[in-house]
Amino acid sequence: MTLVKRDKWGISHIEADSAAAAFEAQGWVAADDRIWQMEWDRRRALGRWSEVVGIAGAREDAFFRRLGIATIARNDWNQLGTEAKEMTRSYAIGVNRWLDTHLDSLPSEFDYHPEAPEPWEPWHCVVVYKVRHVFMGTLDRKLWRGHLLSKAGVDITRSFLGDPNADTSMLPPQSNEALNLLARSNEVLSHNKVAIDALSSIDGGSNSWALEGSRTATGLPLLAGDPHRTIEFPNVYHQLHMKCPEFDAIGMGFPGVPGFPHFGHNSNVAWCITHGMADDTDVFIESDDLDAIEWCPETLDIRDSDSVEVWCGSTERGPIVFGNPSDGIALGLMWTGISNVDTTFEVLAPMLKAKSCEELESTMKPWVIPVNNLLSADVEGNISFKVRGRVVERSIANRWTPVAGTSDASWSQDNEVVFDRLQSWRNPARGFLVTANNRISDQGPYISLDFAGPSRHDRIVELLSELFDATVDDMTKIHRDVKSLVAPTLIKIFVENAGHCRHSLSSEAIALLSDWDCEVTESSTAATIYNVVRRRWAETVGTHLGVMAPELGAPGWPSAQQASRMLFESATEVLVSGEVHQIKGLETSKKLVDAISSVIDGSLTELEDRCGPLMSEWNWGRVHRMASAHPLARQWQPARSLHPPMDGCPGDGDTVRCGAMTPETGERAAAASVARYVYDLGDWDNSGWVVPHGVSGVRGSGNDLGQRDAWLAGELLPMLYSEQAINKNTSEVFTI
């Protein structure tokens, strides 16, 4: 029998007599807390979500059927070693033991399902992990840049990438044939209407930092950070603690997946990650020999509708995801998660037993997806950084846009970068390490074109540089920081080009922006004006380029939300870099003044309509609200009561406390910290963590929203580790 203690926040602490029993208990607890979320991810991966939500899920199902990740995941599982297979078997046993005794008391989401969940199979762990990462890479960005290149030309496209002179950012010459192919690929996207909401998640941001003992109060490291993803309910991460003779580990895992792949610690070492932003996907424009493809039909059974036939096929470069033989052109795809055997699960058990940073990193050689910036710290006082994951070297042309489907564009496993070549650092002289999705180095293997800007990284460096006796409280203050390092430059440009404003409040607004401290707090009026002006500027750039989100994203791909997000980033870059004069209609200083003045006037008029005539009432928390959509409620209208409440929150996409937005959805917080954590290696019980809602995904359970207030306040809850600390805060004890 395995003992489980739930603490006052509903987080389970497992005491098992073997690793197998611990993983079985993890499966049981995950099902108890998150069985609906596990079912949702599994059905999406298998291309069977439309059996629940009807036609709203059909396009998503078609994509995953054509991608074939279910078959690939099963094959990957079959090639795992004994330890990884046994881990997933134990996990599946736990899930099924829970199902055997709870089919009559399933969460309320299943009131809207036509059938109860099927038994969990070990390979399902692999497929739900894949479905959580397939859209974290460069698919959307390449499709968007392909559209931009065909509409606006090479110079504009290059100017949207930061440093146009960097060797890794050189755009190869585009022939007329290539541009014609890109234009035709846009037609394919328009003719193959991909689900917009369902395939539109905002992922990829994170912060993490490590301080060595010379800068902390205990003399041992602190490791902290927060991943940024779409805020959804249930939350993507699941808090848990497992103790057995082989390991004593606590962390956050994915429901349906054993272990703690991204965030956790055992008694000797702590680990965390940020998204490495790697170029992990290529898109191929297939126009020759489509008839030679072995097309196989698959049938989607759609709730309350006729079934739909989906044609699936592949070339040597990868599966066809858009287009059919009759179109004369199609788009194929290759992703690191399907390009060769995925051995990521070989890592999950060994990492729980690592005794040092060096040992932890050595276990990462089989890691494939996603590419991460791994930070770790150990009780010997080491702090360490290592890039982990599958990096594939290809032609420079492949870095930018979809490319022609030719034999020389195919991937080769011979071009995979060996683990030892991936960047790493340990115990730096300055005493800390920071990652925030920024470009980590111009040395070593090529990783990507598409890194985040340096603002979050640089702000964390500023704050850490002032600390020499740091505590968990100091780390928590960094989590809460809302100082924007991007705002001063943009405000200067906006103010200098506001000479033709006509709105009655323009002088007051410009004065407010000029005096603003660039703290994106909930009470700030300047933060509201700044962000609305910035969003409307992005829309103006999109209009001039002819790539506004509705034209680009609906009904094609990328989604309107993703397209507007990329436009938002690029519109900022082109303004700051001074390349804005390359855009037709903004070629002269006078035209730029006219455009920015119009943007400011329009922003003030909009805010009057939204918030009333008193500028003092235009506070940021009023318009910047966290919307945590429930996936079932979003696509199945009768389940709309499952949505959690909305609340105002501080920050924006450039601040450490993330509250990222997209023009498509206005000032709503589309992505934010889906967890925050601090590991104190001087006293594990002094560590802390929090998630946006709670450990449970069961609405009304009491633990579904139990951490929400702390998350909104920027506070952490205790990460209980020792038996004494757990016993002091135990609210329930049971055996499995």
State the helix-helix crossing angle for 560-576 and 487-496, rounded to 10 degrees.
70
Nearest C-alpha neighbor of 418 from the set 439, 445, 441: 445
Q: Which residues pair with 226 in a beta bridge?
A: 207
Q: Give the CA distances from residue 372 to residues 262, 363, 687, in Å, rounded to whole numbers and listed in that order.
A: 9, 14, 23
Q: pTM, whole model, 2 decimals?
A: 0.93
| Strand-strand pairing, 238-243 and 12-15 | parallel
User: Which residue ranges of the chain lie beneath pLDDT 50?
Assistant: 163-174, 187-202, 549-556
Structure tokens at 337: 């998660």
Using one digit for the tens of pLDDT, what is the confidence trace for 204-228?
Answer: 579 999 999 999 999 999 999 999 9
Q: How far apart are CA 585 and CA 591, in angstroms?
A: 7
Query: What sign does the CA torsion over 666, 668, 670, 673 have?
Result: positive
Residue 365 DSSP symbol: T
pLDDT at residue 148 in the model: 79
Q: Give the CA distances from residue 712 to residues 161, 225, 483, 628, in Å, rounded to whole numbers and listed in that order.
A: 34, 16, 17, 13
C-beta of residue 213 within 8 angstroms of C-beta of residue 219:
yes
pLDDT at residue 679 in the model: 98
- H-type helices in 450-486, by residue range? 455-465, 472-480
206 in catalytic set: yes
Q: Give the CA distances from residue 448 to residues 141, 142, 375, 436, 570, in Å, rounded to whole numbers and listed in that order.
A: 11, 12, 19, 14, 16
Helix (H) or strand (E) holding 626: strand 625-626
Query: ω before 445 within 30° of 0 (cis)?
Result: no
| CB atoms inside a 10 Å sphere around CB 609 | 9
What is the SS3 assignment for 211? strand
**Residues 10-22 as b or e (16 or more Cβ within 10 Å = b):** bbbbbbbeebbbb
Type of residue at 59: R
Concatenating the DSSP letter of every residue in 239-284 gives EEEEE-SS-EEEEEE-TTS-S-SSEEE-SSEEEEEEE-----EEEE
C-beta of residue 418 within 8 angstroms of C-beta of residue 408:
no
**Residues 488-517 as b or e (16 or more Cβ within 10 Å = b):** eebbebbbebbeebebebbeebbebbeebe
Instruction: Write out 307-360 in H/E/C secondary structure.
Output: CEEEEECEECCEEEEECCHHHCCEEEEEECCCCCCCCCHHHHCHHHHCCCHHHH
Straight-line distance from the first to the last Cα atom of the chain, in angstroms, rounded to the nearest whole number: 6
Using one digit for the tens of pLDDT, what is the confidence trace for 267-277?
Answer: 999 999 999 99
Type of residue at 364: M
Structure tokens at 664: 């498509």
**Residues 679-691 as b or e (16 or more Cβ within 10 Å = b):** bbbbebebbbbbb
What is the SS3 assignment for 295? coil
* Residue/partner pairs of 462-471 with CB below 8 Å, 24 or more apart: 463/656, 464/209, 464/211, 464/215, 464/432, 464/434, 465/430, 467/211, 467/215, 468/214, 468/215, 469/215, 469/216, 469/217, 470/211, 470/215, 470/216, 470/217, 470/222, 471/216, 471/217, 471/222
Structure tokens at 54: 């009807």
Concatenating the DSSP letter of every residue in 10-74 gives --EEEE-SSHHHHHHHHHHHHHHHHHHHHHHHHHHHHT-THHHHGGGGHHHHHHHHHHTHHHHHH
Sole residue written with tokens 């006729």: 306
Instruction: Please give the domain boundaries of the chain with CATH numbers for all domains.
Output: 487-626 (1.10.1400.10)
pLDDT at residue 403 in the model: 87
Q: How far apart are CA 130 and CA 233, in angstroms?
A: 19
Structure tokens at 383: 């702090």
C-beta of residue 376 within 8 angstroms of C-beta of residue 357:
yes
Structure tokens at 614: 């008193």
Q: How far apart are CA 147 and CA 143, in angstroms?
A: 6
Structure tokens at 579: 């390349």
Q: Give the CA distances from residue 679 to residues 491, 719, 726, in Å, rounded to whole numbers and listed in that order.
A: 37, 9, 17
Structure tokens at 85: 């297979």
Structure tokens at 511: 């004065």
Nearest C-alpha neighbor of 395 from the set 415, 376, 369: 415
Concatenating the DSSP letter of every residue in 367-415 gives --SS-EEEEEEETTS-EEEEEES--B---GGGGTS-EE--GGGS--GGG
Q: Which residues pair with 388 in a beta bridge?
A: 372
C-beta of residue 615 within 8 angstroms of C-beta of residue 643:
no
Concatenating the DSSP letter of every residue in 665-734 gives GTTSB-EEES-EEEEETT-GGG-EEE-SS-S--STTSSSSSTTHHHHHHT--EE---SHHHHHHTEEEEE
Type of residue at 330: A
Q: Say which of 200, 201, 206, 570 is annotated catalytic.
A: 206
pLDDT at residue 149 in the model: 77
Structure tokens at 371: 């590419």
Q: How far apart are CA 516 and CA 525, in angstroms?
A: 9
